[in-house]
């Protein structure tokens, strides 16, 4: 027995390579750790330190030799209490709008993506591969081009959207002046009952620019959801549907107990990923509405950009980024706990 144990120990030692091999493996990892430390860890730590200071543009000029003052939690307090001296800043309205923007987009992308994937997965559909190749086109177009083209399409005077509505209205005898809609700059909300103004609270009414960007991001966001859903659908064994049909299951029961069961492990993690991406979706807001009108479509990420690039409050901008990190961290942990997105599924 002792001989067998000794042989097993020697075999494990040969497989592990011994302490010398392990040290060599760690040495090979050192360059990667150094690169990650320089380009990732150091900037993150420096940003956290900066968030506790009053760093401005003058402090970044090394020739002046000025050092920022430590202000503690003052930057965080000014952000959370909306005490920043910048126009149209209300942190509570900003965070509520940012959350609503992400949730509404992800919900539409998820439902539309799954529905189209189910439609294109139907048996006997002609040109199925062609359709699947076409709907991925929005994803491969550069983000700047997408935002610029859609901003011009929503132009009040010569935008394609207004011209299309005016053409359709002309058929019905509606004057073209009715469709002179300033999508990106109109202040009055089209549906004031949606996210109404609470008593004593911030004005949460959604401007028309929100709906214009919602349409744009829907066009941009559903294809990848459909790709993920298509992959999950094609992994479902046909035997499960056949067994359900033998058991007398209806179409709805097969969809709920078989299709959704296989879609869930793929779609929930992707929905969480889509929420994080949409929550920080900078380019649509920046290039389409600019955060307007009156800051109503401003996101946390665009507000942080404004603080850094327009008013040069680097310390406050760093604090904004830290707050964004913890907001997303809490939302991700809660969502993961409620949906059990990272658990192991046994189907």
Query: For the chain, which residues make up each domain, given as ranges?
Result: 90-339
Residue 266's pLDDT band, with cuts at 50, 70 and 90, is confident
Dihedral sign for Cα atoms in the order 326, 329, 332, 334 = negative
pLDDT of residue 95: 92
> What is the mean pLDDT of the segment spanning 115-135?
83
Tell me how far apart the alpha carbons of residues 315 and 153 are, in angstroms, rounded to a whole number: 38
Between residues 100 and 139, the one the model is more confident about: 100
pLDDT of residue 323: 92
What share of the chain in percent tops pLDDT 90? 30
Lowest mean pLDDT among 114-128, 301-315, 328-342: 328-342
Does position 3 have pLDDT exceeding 70, yes or no?
A: no
Tell me how far apart the alpha carbons of residues 299 and 180 are, in angstroms, rounded to a whole number: 27
Does position 16 have pLDDT exceeding 60, yes or no?
A: no
Does position 215 have pLDDT exceeding 50, yes or no?
A: yes
Nearest one of 227, 255, 217 to 108, comparing CA atoms: 217
Residue 122's pLDDT band, with cuts at 50, 70 and 90, is confident
CATH label, 90-339, candidates 1.10.8.640, 1.10.3720.10, 2.30.40.10, 1.10.1040.10: 1.10.3720.10
Could you tell me the CA-to-CA distances from 208 to 167, 213, 296 in Å, in that order? 21, 9, 10
Does position 15 have pLDDT exceeding 70, yes or no?
A: no
Does position 8 have pLDDT exceeding 50, yes or no?
A: no
> What is the mean pLDDT of the segment spanning 310-323?
90
pLDDT of residue 297: 93
Does position 267 have pLDDT exceeding 70, yes or no?
A: yes
Bond prior to 293 in cis (omega within 30° of 0): yes
Does position 17 have pLDDT exceeding 60, yes or no?
A: no
The residues, ordered by sequence, that sit 6+ positions from 185 with a Cβ below 8 Å of its Cβ are 156, 209, 292, 293
Question: pTM here?
Answer: 0.82
């Amino acid at each position: 027995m002792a001989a067998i144990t000794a042989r097993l120990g020697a075999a494990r030692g040969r497989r592990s390579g011994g302490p010398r091999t392990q040290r060599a493996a760690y040495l090979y990892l050192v360059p990667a750790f150094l690169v990650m430390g320089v380009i990732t860890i150091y900037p993150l730590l420096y940003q956290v330190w900066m968030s506790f200071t009053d760093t401005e543009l003058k402090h970044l000029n090394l020739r002046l030799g000025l050092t920022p003052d430590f202000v503690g939690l003052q930057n965080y307090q000014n952000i959370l209490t909306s005490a920043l001296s910048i126009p149209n800043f209300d942190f509570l309205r900003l965070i509520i709008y940012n959350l609503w923007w992400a949730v509404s987009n992800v919900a539409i992308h998820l439902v539309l993506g799954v529905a189209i994937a189910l439609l294109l997965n139907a048996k006997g559909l002609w040109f199925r591969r062609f359709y699947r190749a076409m709907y991925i086109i929005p994803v491969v177009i550069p983000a700047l081009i997408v935002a610029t083209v859609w901003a011009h399409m929503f132009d009040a005077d010569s935008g394609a959207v207004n011209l299309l509505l005016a053409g359709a209205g002309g058929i019905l005898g509606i004057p073209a002046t009715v469709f002179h809609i300033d999508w990106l700059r109109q202040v009055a909300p089209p549906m004031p009952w949606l996210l109404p103004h609470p008593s004593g609270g911030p004005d949460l009414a959604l401007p028309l620019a929100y709906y214009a960007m919602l349409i744009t991001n829907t066009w941009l966001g559903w294809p990848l959801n459909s790709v993920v859903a298509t992959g999950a659908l094609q992994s479902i064994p046909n035997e499960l549907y056949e067994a359900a049909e033998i058991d007398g299951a209806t179409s709805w029961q097969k969809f709920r107990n078989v299709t959704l069961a296989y879609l869930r492990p793929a779609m929930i993690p992707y929905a969480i990923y889509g929420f994080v991406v949409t929550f920080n979706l900078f380019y649509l807001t920046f290039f389409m509405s600019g955060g307007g009108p009156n800051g109503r479509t401003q996101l946390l990420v665009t507000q942080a950009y404004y603080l850094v690039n327009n008013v040069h409050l680097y310390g406050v901008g760093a604090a904004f980024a830290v707050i964004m990190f913890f907001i997303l961290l809490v939302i991700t942990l809660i969502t993961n706990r409620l949906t059990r997105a990272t658990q192991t599924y046994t189907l």
